[in-house]
Amino acid sequence: MQVRTPVDFGLMIRQARRARGITQQELARAAAVGRQWIVEVEAGKPRAEVGRVLQTLAALDLSLTIHGEGIPELRESEDPAEDIDLDAVLEAHRRTPP
């Protein structure tokens, strides 16, 4: 989903938190922030610190993606487990045993 404003962050954090069935208190501990801060961020606080927001998204297993002119689709080293053809690997192994 698109994130355009701090309110969007708040909605998404709340939604994800509820989907996981955890309380603000628990999320606060997991993200290493105060519970009060979670309350404010879920309400869309525009001046919250990015670092903490990212920590919180990470604690919820949410991932952020950025795109636009001049932005590479992936960083090198990103998506490290991409499209491995397991059959091919096994076949190769079979042909050159230890």
Partner DNA sequence: CTGAAATGTAGTCGTTCGACTACTTTAGGA
Partner DNA sequence: TCCTAAAGTAGTCGAACGACTACATTTCAG
Residue 35 C-beta: closest distance to a second copy, Å = 19
x/- letters, 60..89, toward a second copy (CB under 8 A) = xxxxxxxxxxxxxxxx--x-----------
Which are the contacts of 39, defined by CB distance < 8 A and separation ≥ 6? Answer: 24
Question: Of 22-30, 32-40, 42-50, 83-91, which segment contacts a second copy by CB under 8 A?
Answer: 42-50
Is the CA virtual torsion 49, 53, 58, 64 positive or negative?
negative
d(CA 10, CA 12): 5
Query: Which pairs with CB-CB distance under 8 Å and at least 24 residues apart come from 30-33?
Result: 30/59, 31/55, 31/56, 31/58, 31/59
Q: Which residues bind a second copy (CB under 8 A)?
A: 1-6, 8-9, 12, 15-16, 18-20, 46-51, 53-54, 57-58, 60-75, 78
Q: Which residues bind DNA (CB under 7 A)?
A: 18, 23-25, 32-37, 39-40, 42-43, 45, 47-49, 52
